[in-house]
Structure 1
Amino acid sequence: MSVEFEDHPRSKYLQRKLLKSSLIRTPVNINCSKVVEGDSVAVTLAHMYNLNIKSKRVQLTERDYMNFTEDCENYKVKRNFLSFVMSKEEEDYPIAYSIVIQDNIEMFERLLRSIYTPQNIYCVHVDDKAPNIFKQAVKAITSCFGNVFMATKLEDMIHALWSRVQADLNCMKDLLDSNIKWVYLLNACGSDFPIKTNAEIVNTLKVLNGKNSVESIRPPEDKMSRWFFHYEIGTSVVRTNYKKTIPPISIPIFYGSGYFVVTRQFVKHIFASTQIHHFLHWAKDTYSPNEHIWATLNRLPGVPGSLPHNSKYDITDAISIARLVKWEFYEGDVNKGAQYPSCKGTHQQNVCIFGSGDLHWLLQQQHLLAGKFDPMVDNIAIQCLEETLRYKTLYGNVMSVYGYSGA
């Protein structure tokens, strides 16, 4: 249930005490309110701190979390998980999450904490080849919550293979089987982080009014071989010279992202439709199917929440709200036409690992989640984002408005 307080001094005191205890504070002398405002001095100090501490920082281990969670109630309090719903509106609009992870237990916990509310539901898919101790630690964390669970079937995840799609399908089935009647489903991976509070996400989803938000465009020429040819799938993916049959759908293949915002009706439909069953089976030997399956399904006639397949309805990554990524080759001077400003962190496989200097820009975007983040690259970026979102969750505004310094 959502928390309500009577208009009485004692109740107001308890409210302030409860809210204060739920704050997340950066445990270093960094002014997060200035960092998220883009203040150059604060961002420089954060960057210097990261450089000084990077080689000294020791992340929490799987064993740490197994020890923490021996007492679940104490764990949830000490690790600052929200134990109450902030509003009736949020309580009446539960959201489902499918989270795919393979390592970095601390980053997983921080992602979960940042999106966790008691009314939502969370399915966590762990790469089946992850070490047993990692699986045990994830199980220990999820077991402390009635609305967080590990997927009932785990896949051996290999980049660009069908297993990435199957992981989300496994969570989709589990989420449909749950007692929580969630409205929308979002998917994420372990290096993602929200850039909106749960209340902001609910408001955004309500504006969609039953439509999905999935990147979906006419495919570039260099991507079309991904589904024109049969790929041999083993420990890696090798393209053969054998052309595939025509896909068993009435529209062309579309290209997009593996990340989506889709309705409960969409998810139910993909399990009920014979046509979609045949299409998914057809796509199993394509390359990186997660980047064209969801994009195509969201343009297929009759699919709940979908868009027409006319090119007028193409949705780029800048328009889709699912997940924000900075690709290195689209960065530059926005005043000269670049899609987004240069990465203030570092790059990994042409993708920006966000830094503290990216936060001001990130928090102005319409997307719900962003990736990638890495505490070993810029831990302050994650900490200030955590702190800012929690403050907005509790008080409904940015920290600077209330004079909160974060020190």
Structure 2
Amino acid sequence: MHKPTLVRRLLLVFTCLIFIALNLAVVCVFRSSPSNLCGTAQENLTHGSFDVENRHPADLGDVAVVGQSFNEIVDSVVPRVKISDVDCKLLFEGDLDELHYAEEIMTQTQRHFLSDERMFLKSKNCTKFVKERQYILSSLTKEEEEFPLAFSIMVYKNAEQVERLLRAIYRPQNFYCFHVDNKSSPAFLNAMTSLSSCFDNVFVANTHVNVVWAEVTVLDAELVCMEELFKRYYKKWKYFINLTGQEFPLKTNMELVKILKAYGGANDMEGTLKRTFFRRNMDRFTKEWDGHLHLTGQTLPPAPFGIVPTKGAVHITATWGFVNFTLTDPIAKEFLKWTRKTHRACETFFTSLNHNPHLMVPGSFTGSAEALETKPFMTRYKIWVDESIPFCGGKFVRAICIFGLEHLPRLFVRNELFANKFHQEFQPYTLDCMEEWHYNKTRLGYSLPFNTQHYRSLPFVKDKII
């Protein structure tokens, strides 16, 4: 009669011991945040009518308690964003009533943004700033931690919008370089320097180029950040992506990692021969740049090493191997000298290295000239005024579409990695809703499948030099 009771008691004690052991166990989930800036909630992040729920990255250090699901952990780390004045979901669905309602609000109310001086002051207290702005201070997954990215960001004004871009793409395992234009105001430079000082993996480039649109100075500025990222974090990142301060991501960091892994070492760069030859026939003389453009009177010689120049966007997604070749190989250095004498060198240098397979540049395209003209470009979604589909859903400035509310239904279904351009003061709910969508996708994306087949089947992925 007593033996069953004793057995039951022993089983009960054994069960309790297992329960206690499981609750005391820990598993390594997160990286430590840079500068130990993670903390508890203090106040909501607000800019205008944009509100973020009062959730902040928990200071978990290197561990999280067993029993808490991964989705619960992500939910505690990633900001929960909700616009209070308008329904972004309806705007993304193209609801005309909600569109007209949002336009009416924007017409009747004036939005106030942070000045560069104010951004400087707010970012002086790094701990408070990072808490309030709700930076994601965890790599979130081992896959993301083991696939760090390097970003260069060309900036010249509007520190708040630049900070919103950084906040959207920031992860502690990635690396970020700001090139501040030499023409930028002291207040803007101070704001960017102060912002960067809050993170171990963010910095302002030491050199400040006086950037002039369409001239070689654009390329010079890009090379400044590329070289500093290359030297500071030698072999510590997998891919390089260059941005400007007026862009916003269409993919989460997790999606970027999966896409770039699907590329399998391929570069993504725009390239065409047709527009290049037309332009080169117009450039009968070499050019020199000393702050002003000069014709030398000398005919432009052929490009060295049998390179056939191609034309393409300065925005690129490039492997570490491509960057290494660009900065260190004698062929690239000699071609750079030749490129400096051409018009729009920024649209010639990177793309030509990527589309001349005899150079054996890592990740470069090996397809035919015919394939080059139809090859998709996934790095950037941008609309020019002279394109066959001129719909902008915003306004055109210097021939480029500034996205507005009407374009939201098109933006969130794009396959590109980033969209260019946004002006936060133009129809400000546009960028607000992009933030809401992006953060919510970040938080929910880990429980949803992400199909990379489209990216694996791209021509530049199939035809590449490894």
Partner of 1:323: 380
* Aligned: 1:155 with 2:206: no
Shift of 1:229: 2.5
* Aligned: 1:73 with 2:143: no
Query: Secondary structure of the residue that 1:187 maps to in structure 2?
Result: strand
Query: Secondary structure of the residue that 1:342 maps to in structure 2?
Result: coil
Shift of 1:255: 0.8
Higher relative contact order (CA 8 A, sep 6+): 1
Partner of 2:368: 310
| 8 Å contact from structure 1 (residues 85, 118) kept in 2 | yes
Shift of 1:181: 0.9
1:186-225 to structure 2, matched below 5 A, reads 186-220=241-275, 221-225=277-281
Q: Distance in 1 between matches of 2:290 and 2:379?
A: 30
Structure 1 residues 51 and 249, CA, compared in 2 at 3 Å: closer, same or farther? farther
* Aligned: 1:259 with 2:308: no
Give me the CA root mean square deviation.
2.4
Partner of 2:354: 298
Residues 334-362 of structure 1, C-alpha deviation per residue, up to 9 Å, x if partnerless? xxxx4x46111111112110011212211
Q: Which runs of 5+ in 1 are unaligned?
A: 331-337, 400-407
Residues 109-134 of structure 1, C-alpha deviation per residue, up to 9 Å, x if partnerless? 11111111111110110001212221
Partner of 2:437: 388
1:3-402 to structure 2, matched below 5 A, reads 3=30, 5-8=64-67, 15=73, 18-19=76-77, 22-26=79-83, 28-53=84-109, 56-179=110-233, 181-220=236-275, 221-225=277-281, 228-237=284-293, 239=295, 241-300=297-356, 301=358, 302-308=360-366, 310-314=368-372, 319-330=376-387, 338=388, 340=389, 342-396=391-445
Which of 228-237 and 87-96 deviates more? Answer: 228-237
Q: Distance in 2 between matches of 1:311 and 1:248?
A: 20
Counting matched residue pairs gives 385
Shift of 1:230: 1.5
Residues 218-247 of structure 1, C-alpha deviation per residue, up to 9 Å, x if partnerless? 132542246552124344435565321211
TM-score, scaled relative to structure 2: 0.77
Partner of 1:403: none
Residues 54-96 of structure 1, C-alpha deviation per residue, up to 9 Å, x if partnerless? xx22221121112111210110110121111221111111111
Larger Rg: 2
| 8 Å contact from structure 2 (residues 216, 289) kept in 1 | no
Query: Secondary structure of the residue that 2:312 maps to in structure 1?
Result: strand
Query: Secondary structure of the residue that 1:58 maps to in structure 2?
Result: coil
Whichever residue aligns with residue 106 of structure 1, its letter is E
Q: Which runs of 5+ in 2 are unaligned?
A: 1-27, 31-62, 449-466
| 8 Å contact from structure 1 (residues 346, 377) kept in 2 | no
Structure 1 residues 177 and 39, CA, compared in 2 at 3 Å: closer, same or farther? same
Structure 1 residues 397 and 359, CA, compared in 2 at 3 Å: closer, same or farther? farther
Whichever residue aligns with residue 102 of structure 2, its letter is A
TM-score, scaled relative to structure 1: 0.88
